Amino acid sequence: MPIDPAQRHQIEQDAITAMWEGARLTACDHAIALLREIADLERDDDRDVILEANADGHNDLLSRLKAFLVQHDQ
C-alpha cells in the first residue's frame, strides 16, 4: 500500500530533523570537550587562564576553537 504524500512529507521532515539534532548533539559534545580542555589549563595567581603560544605565536587550542565556531556558526 503506497504512502500518501502527506505521510511521505512527514517522514522526510522527521528524518531531516533527526539528522539536524544528531549534528547539534555532536557539536555540543565537541564544545564540551573544548571547554573541559580550557578548564584544565594552567592558571595564574588571579585564576586567569594562561594561553601559551609557540614561537610563531600559534596556539592550537585557540585555532581549534576558531575552527569549531566557523564550522558551527549558523
Extents of the domains making up the chain: 5-72
For 7, the 3-state DSSP assignment is helix
Mean pLDDT to the nearest integer, 7-24: 93
Asked if pLDDT for residue 53 goes beyond 90, the answer is: no
Q: Which pLDDT does position 17 carry in this prediction?
A: 95
Instruction: State if pTM tops 0.85.
Output: no
Assigned C-alpha cell, 62: 585557540
**pLDDT class of 74 with cuts at 50, 70, 90:** low
73/39 Cα distance (integer angstroms)? 23
Given a contact cutoff of 8 angstroms between Cβ atoms, the answer to whether 25 and 32 are in contact is no
